[in-house]
Amino acid sequence: MSHNIINPAELEKLLNISCGLDTKQGNPRFKAILHRLMGDVCRTIDEFDITDEEFWQAVNYLNVLGERKEVALLAAGLGLEHFLDMRADAKEKAASLHGGTPRTIEGPLYVANAPLSDKFARMDDGKDDGEPMWLYGQVTDPDNQPIAGAVVDIWHANTLGNYSFFDSSQTDYNLRRRIKTGPDGRYAVRSIIPSGYGCPPDGPTQALLNHVGRHGNRPAHIHFFVSGPGFKHLTTQINLSGDPYLWDDFAFATRDELIADPVKVTDEKIAQQRDIPVSHTEVKFDFKLTPVSTTEEQVRIKRERAME
């Protein structure tokens, strides 16, 4: 049932004072944004006749969300992080910019300063008996010319869906590496096939998803930052085909162009060349970077990240 019993003029007076619109001090852009947000919150309370108890339950929820460090997880689960990608895509389309590997969400589990290697790295510490994976590809420009010296920053979960640093049972930087491409623009890593994961079942993100009738599961995926001098920094991830949550990712990260097809390898000669068990899975994925229009586009956006 819709209400709306507050006098609009009285509400506007309150908002103008609380958001500092009646003073020249402060940041004008910040004040305008806060005014819009506060107005939307107050009008929602009024329209849905939200009770005092419901209001304070919401306040307590925000406290728990912060205590559990799940704010970024919820931002992904509500589609807000994906919405940022949608806006970036729309801006590029409006500017007639196209091409390059599509972006998708970063997620909340990156850890900076992983070990850097040339051309190849082993990512796993050998303690997880997951399916061995050979992940490889090439970084090129829009004309398909290789980009030498590009850095491919890779991170993914283990077979339990957990990430090192956030999972204290794993060694430092397990399943996290940076690889610098050679003159041919190629990179390769030995690792293990990751598992998808779900939101902590007892956490505030899953509690909210339960209220809207949604699950909190992600398909198996691999995260990437790809960068090179003179090219736009790329934040993306690939999903592995065949996963039951491939097109039902609670974080809305799946894109047609970012699906990789794992291939089973049993050729002894190939395994010997790669110094990897005979029976393993290979995943090939190439990246295409686009030139920058400003130097700022070469670096990733600023946000709080572990070890950065």
Percent of the chain, pLDDT > 70? 99
Residues contacting 152, CB < 8 A, separation 6+: 139, 178, 179, 180, 181, 187, 224, 225, 226, 287
- Report the alpha-carbon distance of residue 308 to residue 303 in Å, rounded: 9
- Predicted confidence at residue 299, as pLDDT, reads 96
Write out the two tokens for 308: 């950065």
Q: How confident is the model at residue 2 (pLDDT cuts 50, 70, 90)?
A: low
Asked if the model's pLDDT at residue 1 lies above 60, the reply is no
Q: Give, rounded to a whole angstrom, the gap between the first and last alpha carbons of the chain.
A: 48
3-state secondary structure of 303: coil
Structure tokens at 146: 């290789």
pLDDT digits (tens, 9 = 90+) for 180-202: 999 999 999 999 999 999 999 99
Q: pLDDT tens across 202-260, in order? A: 999 999 999 999 999 999 999 999 999 999 999 999 999 999 999 999 999 999 999 99
pLDDT band at 4 (very low <50, low <70, confident <90, very high): confident
Residues 278-292 have pLDDT tens digits of 999 999 999 999 999
Element (H, E) at 8: helix 8-18
pLDDT digits (tens, 9 = 90+) for 42-67: 999 999 999 999 999 999 999 999 99
Asked whether the beta carbons of 283 and 240 are under 8 A apart, the reply is yes
Crossing angle, helix 28-47 and helix 8-18, to 10 degrees?
A: 140
User: Does the pLDDT at position 69 exceed 80?
Assistant: yes
pTM: 0.95
Dihedral angle at the C-alpha atoms of 197, 199, 202, 208, nearest 10 degrees? -150
Sole residue written with tokens 């047609």: 256
* Residues ≥6 apart with Cβ < 8 Å to 151: 116, 178, 179, 180, 181, 225, 226, 227, 228
For residue range 127-166, list pLDDT tens digits in order: 999 999 999 999 999 999 999 999 999 999 999 999 999 9
